[in-house]
Copies of this chain bind each other. A is one copy, B any other.
Amino acid sequence: MTFKKKIICTLIGSLVLVSTVVAQDEHPRLFLNRTDVAAMRAAIGKYPLFDVSLRLVKPKIDKALAGPIDVPIPKDAGGYTHERHKQNYTEMQLAGVFYSITGEARYADFVRSMLLKYADLYPTLGRHPAAAGEAAGRLFWQTLNETVWLVHATQAYDCVYDRLSAADRAIIESKVIRPMAVFLSEERVHEMDRIHNHGTWSCAAVGMAGYVMNDKNLVEKALYGSKKDRSGGFLRQIDLLFSPDGFYTEGLYYVRYALLPFYTFAQVIENNQPELKIFEYRDQILKKALTSALQLTYTNGAFIPINDALKEKTYLSPEIIVALDIAFSRSGQDVNLLPVAVRHNEVMLSGAGVDVAKAIAGKKAPKDYPYKSVEYTDGAQGKDGGIGVLRYGPSEDQSMMIMKYTGHGLSHGHYDKLGILYYDQGREILQDYGSARFINVEPKYGGRYLPENKSFAMQTIAHNTVTVDGTSHFSGDVRIAERNHADRHFYEARDDHFQVMSARVTTAYEGVSMQRTVAMVRDNLFEKPIVIDVFKIVSDKPHTYDFPYYYLGQLTSTSVKYRSFDRQLSLLGTQNGYQHLWKEAEGNASGAVQVSWLAGERYYSITSAADTSTQVFFVRIGGSDPNFNLRHEPAFILRQEASSHVFASVLEPHGAWDGTKEFSEHAGSSIRSVHVAATNGDATAVEISGVDGWKCMLLISNGDGSESAGHTLVVAGREYTWKGNAQFIKQ
């Protein structure tokens, strides 16, 4: 008998034994209900992906059952006790699910024993010994992990509820579930009422405790805030944390995390108060939140790492499995979600997971996730700027350009208004550093955010945008940054041969307004789509403008005559992130600056308008890093002393390199120079000249962003007239 058949038979065997034992009670009803249980039992042996998912977790939970239960006294913030309590809640919840499916007593007994051990431990705990700050937990160093524990533990409790004695229930509820819910909703009420993913987790935890214990008071606090006046609570979180089209203000790394409590608690609400129609709420905002999260991944599944973000994080993360399965099941069985589920190669153990497995078994999944060029607004009203994505090409080899013109994004926000990121060949080409953190790696600062996260990764100079006078946007002050945002100017992606977006920020620096326009142009002049990047700065006072491109790859050539500091390196500056950049070389431009590099199997060149007043620095991340926390990656920075100035660059992918076949072609850019031909309050013209003698021009409106407005600009004596926001002209 194959392993597969064996497991399935074992599971079916258990069902036969147990089906009469399941009591006609109201549990499970929290996250799973009896419909889920029936669906899962029926799915076994029928939908391969469901069987795969069962087989994936069964050894884990069986291994857990075979070992001793350890509920250690909390000690560390990323070491054994931390990891063990995380392991415990995962195993408890899984055991609960397996009890529901199989009815086997051993799973329920495991949950019971563990919950009783927590009931022993929890009342003895004070503030966690490794806690720091206001959000200190008891079981974990921060309440966040504690809420996650409760979200899992309540599910486990619900699943085995029928099997527990009234005495056991009383102990478990009175000594751990209720005290923890009270702790979270009273002592840590500032966390629960906070409009933030920690708040969402807190609401979910408190609410699930409420539902499972039939405590209406806790449920109402969870739904409507501690004062029950809708000034906080889960619905308020949904109202404020997403824009009308589903963008989550903290960005993708955290929406991925937040989707778990949002979807988990939504399913709990749907099971217990279907009259709230939670999945319809705010015009299906939860579905939109998932869709925007997926649209803001690159073709390799990696979330766009704006703000604090781990770059390893992809849509394969477990939270997305939960959110996607529930969204598929509860919001219209959208088959466009299925390509991602196919890559998951796993579904959750629930009725929703069964629905996905069934659809995939029915061959309903398209080949690729339908990525598109798209813009999302930010802010609860959709009025706090947004984020624009331009894409060209199929999933196998897609160019993608992102511009960030959102609000700040709460405590994990970075100071990078109008920052860009560029991907190609399935990899990052112009990178956002992401966060400086080795998550859960105990020797790296307990696995928490490293000091360099604040001192470098958050700072403006760490991003592909302009730093003024060596100071980060909003003086690097989160309070100021939170009160401001960038603004969309225009976004047009109907014509995939000329996609363009433009945004502005006037509040990042006093007396300095900035407008960035990024166009992705597919034209037969070039092998691949090029990106034209025009960053216009207006000020009536002189400033120093620093404009980096964090390219990934090996520099192959540059037009800049530079002085190399190849015998001794010093730092680019002393603060605001500059202290983390080694100055490898510097030079002055004499005409356009061109930098070419090799990344993967393709060459890239950036050609930027410049003159002798343009300083160029070649830098590398890694300075002021005594603990080896940073990645040593390069950038070049254009520096301009000016009052008003326009940075204009073209990024061209070109040629090919193959190390196995030892093949190289077109290592040089086809672009000779870029220059700002004209600019005024109404419009800007950027002219691009090719090495073969061709010329082309990008015309941009600096005006009101109307598609019907006419513009006129005189460039080198010739008058250009056009209608709309931007135009690309070949001459």
Contact = CB atoms under 8 A, between A and B. Distances in A.
A438 B447 CA distance: 38
B660 A313 contact: yes
A447 B662 CA distance: 10
Contacts of A564: 625-626
B554 A631 contact: yes
Contacts of A555: 628
Interface in A665-698: 665, 667-668
Interface stretch (A196-204, A314-322, A522-530): A314-322
A383 B317 CA distance: 55
Nearest to A665: B83
B664 A439 contact: yes
Contacts of A567: 570-571, 623-624
A421 to B, nearest CB: 18
A477 interface: no
A3 interface: no
Q: Which range contains the number of A residues in contact with the other chain?
A: 35 or more
Contacts of A596: 443
A566 interface: yes
Query: Can you list the 9 inter-chain pairs with the closest CB atoms, starting with the nearest?
Result: A312-B659, A564-B626, A443-B557, A440-B664, A569-B569, A555-B628, A443-B556, A566-B626, A632-B632
Contacts of A568: 568-571
A388 interface: no
A657 interface: yes
Contacts of A78: 664
Chain A interface mostly helix, strand, loop or mixed?
loop
Interface in A586-636: 596, 598, 618, 620, 622-626, 628, 631-632
Given A620-B632, A632-B632, A662 B440 contact: yes
A178 interface: no
B438 A556 contact: yes
Interface string A312-353: 111011100000000000000000000000000000000000
Given A317-B660, A438-B598, 12 more contacts: A83-B664, A318-B661, A441-B556, A443-B556, A444-B556, A564-B625, A566-B623, A567-B570, A568-B568, A568-B569, A618-B628, A632-B632
A442 B623 contact: no
Contacts of A665: 83
Interface in A154-199: none
Contacts of A623: 566-567
Contact of A554 (B317, B566, B628): B628
Contact of A667 (B311, B443, B570): B443
A433 to B, nearest CB: 14
Interface in A259-299: none
Interface in A56-104: 78, 83
Interface of A: 78, 83, 310-314, 316-318, 438-444, 447, 554-557, 564, 566-571, 582, 584-585, 596, 598, 618, 620, 622-626, 628, 631-632, 657, 659-665, 667-668
A679 to B, nearest CB: 32
A642 to B, nearest CB: 28
A724 B440 CA distance: 46
B314 A663 contact: no
12 contacts: A310-B659, A312-B660, A314-B660, A317-B662, A438-B598, A439-B664, A442-B664, A554-B628, A554-B631, A567-B624, A569-B570, A585-B626
Contacts of A662: 310, 317, 439-440
B582 A569 contact: yes
Contacts of A657: 440-441
Nearest to A563: B626
A387 B441 CA distance: 37
A144 B666 CA distance: 23
Most B Cβ at <10 Å: residue of A582, A626, A628, A667: A628
Contact of A443 (B441, B443, B622, B668): B668
A320 B568 CA distance: 44
A662 to B, nearest CB: 5
A317 B660 CA distance: 5
Contacts of A570: 567-569
B447 A664 contact: yes
Most B Cβ at <10 Å: residue of A78, A566, A582, A584: A566
A659 B569 contact: no
A624 B569 CA distance: 10
A374 B441 CA distance: 37
A623 B625 CA distance: 18
A313 B568 CA distance: 34
Contacts of A626: 564, 566, 585
B316 A660 contact: yes
Contacts of A556: 438, 441, 443-444
Contacts of A313: 659-660
A590 to B, nearest CB: 19
A145 to B, nearest CB: 12
A659 B443 contact: no
B569 A442 contact: no
Nearest to A556: B443
A664 B443 CA distance: 11
A564 B555 CA distance: 27
Nearest to A659: B312
Nearest to A316: B660
Nearest to A601: B312
A83 to B, nearest CB: 6
A569 B665 CA distance: 37
